Amino acid sequence: MIIPTHSQCLDLIEQVRMPEHIKKHSFVVARIAVYLGRLLNHNTLRLNLELLEAGALLHDIAKAWTLSTGERHEDVGSRMLEDWGYAPLSSIVKEHVVLDVSALDGPITESLLVNYSDKRVKHDRVVSLKDRFCDLISRYARTKEHRAWLQEKSNLYMLLESKIFEHLTITPDDLSRLHLSQAEPYDNADPDIQAHRQVR
C-alpha cells in the first residue's frame, strides 16, 4: 500500500497551489483526525495513522480547482490521487463530504474519521457539529428541501460522533479545548505515525 509521507503530502499541497485558507483548514482537520485515531487505537481499534494523516491533509486537494470548474471536489481529488499512484487515499477523499447511513453500522475507518474531523473544523477553527451545520445551512441552504437535507445529515453526524466517542474518555466538547486549531504547518508528524513507519 503506497501512502504519501508527511513531507510528500505537503509537497502535493504546494504543487496544486492550495490557497492558504484551505491549507490551514486541512492542517487542523489532520490534527483532529490523528489525535482521535491515536486515542481509538489505544481502545483496540487498528487504524492506520499514516493513512489517516495523509487522507486528512489531502482531503481538499482539488477544492480550489473545482471552484472554477463547478465539479465536485471530492470526485476530482479522488481521481487526482489515483493518477498520482496513491490509490489508498482515493476513497478517503471521495467519501469525506457525504456520510452514508450504512457506514454507521460498520467499524470506524480512516475514511469515517477524516469525514467527521472535517465537519468539526469551520475554516481553521474547531467547532461543535451543531455550530458547523448551522453555518453550512445558513451559507448553502437555498431551499426548504435543501435545509431539511442538511439537518438530516447533521443528525447522522451526531450518531457518528456518538459511535466514535462511546469508548473514549474525552467528550466531543474536549476537542475545542485541546489547542488543535494551530493552523501553521507542522514539521514532524505524530510520534505514533513515525513509529508506524519504522515498523513497516
d(CA 180, CA 124): 10
Q: Is residue 189 part of a domain?
A: no
Number of domains in the chain: 1
Grid cell for residue 14: 504546494
The CATH number linked to 159 is 1.10.3210
Q: Could you give the dihedral angle defined by the CA atoms of residues 38, 39, 41 and 42, in that order, rounded to the nearest 10 degrees? A: 120
Look at residue 105 and tell me if it is in a domain. yes
Q: What three-state secondary structure class fits 58?
A: coil
The answer to whether position 137 is within a domain reads yes
Instruction: Decide if 194 is inside a domain.
Output: no
C-alpha separations of 147 from 14, 129, 133 in Å = 35, 16, 10
Cell numbers standing for residue 129: 457539529
Q: Which domain holds residue 23?
A: 6-176
User: Is residue 184 in a domain?
Assistant: no
Can you give the pLDDT of all 200 residues of the chain as single tens digits?
A: 799 999 999 999 999 999 999 999 999 999 999 999 999 999 888 999 999 999 999 999 999 988 888 888 999 999 999 999 999 999 999 999 989 889 999 999 999 999 999 999 999 999 999 999 999 898 888 899 999 999 999 999 999 999 999 989 999 999 988 777 654 555 444 554 444 444 33
The answer to the question of residue 186 being in a domain is: no
Smallest Cα–Cα separation from 74: which of 27, 23, 126, 118?
118
